[in-house]
């Protein structure tokens, strides 16, 4: 499943966990990205969706990301063909099995991981990491994750040029309890020839829609006592 990035950010008041992915297949958002207010995980290459689901669940239950994901791999007979990586509030974990298709590999940075397979080269994940590190932390994480994917794609991305139907997805979760939205933290483009451009357009429209909705309905939600 091509390449993805998982990140953890904290500004003292809020923790943010995000994951973004793109591939030359349809529907990657149903398979790869998992996140909660405690961590983010991506499962790819020979995909085992259960690794993502259970990995996040174990992190939510209090296991460290390394213990959660390594434990799952230890019990997985298909581990040599997997890529699995993620972050929690305390650390990172990344694994690329020896049977992944070249080029494959991963990076563990400060509070982020990047991994990819079937890529044109190592520069894809390096560019993804560099773009994330260079991003403006004043901007929403979702938009910066798209920028990171775009940088990796510009370096060549997935090498399977014969596959025209592609997809991309992003997922961000935070420790802040939002009454409404934001609508742009969970977006997918399931089948398109231009996944990152279309994901960016969806993100920009979702930001605009969120701003318009907040301007119109925020007071109504603030006055709503149904949840009390």
User: Residue 225's pLDDT is what?
Assistant: 52
Q: Is 9 among the domain residues?
A: yes
User: Residue 221's pLDDT is what?
Assistant: 63
d(CA 92, CA 23): 23
d(CA 120, CA 1): 13
Q: Which spans in 4-122 are helix H?
A: 49-60, 65-74
Beta carbons of 27 and 167 less than 8 angstroms apart:
yes
Q: Is 166 among the domain residues?
A: yes
Q: Is 54 among the domain residues?
A: yes
d(CA 141, CA 184): 10
Q: Is 228 among the domain residues?
A: no
Q: Is 108 among the domain residues?
A: yes
The whole-number average pLDDT for the span 26-52 is 97
Kindly report, residue by residue over 179-222, the tens digit of the pLDDT.
677 889 999 999 999 999 999 999 999 999 999 988 887 676 66
d(CA 128, CA 135): 11
> Would you tell me the crossing angle of helices 195-223 and 141-154 to the nearest 10 degrees?
180
Q: Is 85 among the domain residues?
A: yes
Kindly report, residue by residue over 129-184, the tens digit of the pLDDT.
999 999 999 999 999 999 999 999 999 999 999 999 999 999 999 999 876 778 89
Residue 223 has pLDDT above 70, yes or no: no
Q: Which spans in the chain are helix H?
A: 49-60, 65-74, 123-134, 141-154, 195-223
Helix (H, G, I), strand (E, B) or coil at 148: helix
Residue 228 has pLDDT above 50, yes or no: no
Beta carbons of 130 and 110 less than 8 angstroms apart:
no
> Which range of residues forms the domain containing residue 65?
3-223
Q: How many domains does the chain have?
A: 1
d(CA 209, CA 88): 30
d(CA 61, CA 59): 5
Kindly report, residue by residue over 146-157, the tens digit of the pLDDT.
999 999 999 999
- Domain with residue 17: its CATH number is 3.60.20.10
User: Residue 226's pLDDT is what?
Assistant: 41
Model confidence pTM above 0.85: yes
């Amino acid at each position: 499943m091509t390449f993805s990035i998982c990140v953890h950010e904290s500004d003292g008041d809020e923790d943010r966990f995000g994951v973004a992915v793109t591939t030359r297949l349809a529907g990657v958002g149903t398979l790869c990205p998992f996140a909660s207010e405690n961590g983010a995980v991506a499962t790819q290459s020979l995909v085992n969706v259960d690794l993502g689901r259970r990995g996040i669940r174990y992190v939510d239950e209090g296991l460290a990301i390394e213990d959660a994901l390594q434990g799952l791999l230890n019990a997985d007979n298909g581990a040599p063909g997997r890529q699995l990586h993620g972050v929690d509030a305390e650390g990172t974990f990344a694994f690329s099995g020896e049977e992944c298709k070249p080029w494959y590999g991963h990076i563990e940075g400060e509070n982020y991981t990047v991994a990819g397979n079937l890529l044109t080269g190592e520069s894809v994940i390096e560019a993804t990491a560099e773009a994330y590190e260079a991003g403006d932390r004043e901007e929403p994480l979702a938009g910066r994750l798209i920028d990171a994917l775009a940088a990796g794609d510009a370096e060549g991305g997935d090498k399977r040029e014969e596959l025209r139907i592609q997809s991309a997805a992003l997922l961000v979760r935070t420790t802040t309890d939002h009454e409404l939205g934001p609508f742009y933290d969970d977006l997918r483009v399931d089948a398109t020839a231009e996944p990152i451009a279309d994901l960016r357009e969806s993100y920009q429209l979702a930001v605009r829609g969120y701003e318009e909705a907040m301007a119109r309905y925020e007071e109504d939600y603030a006055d709503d006592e149904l949840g009390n």
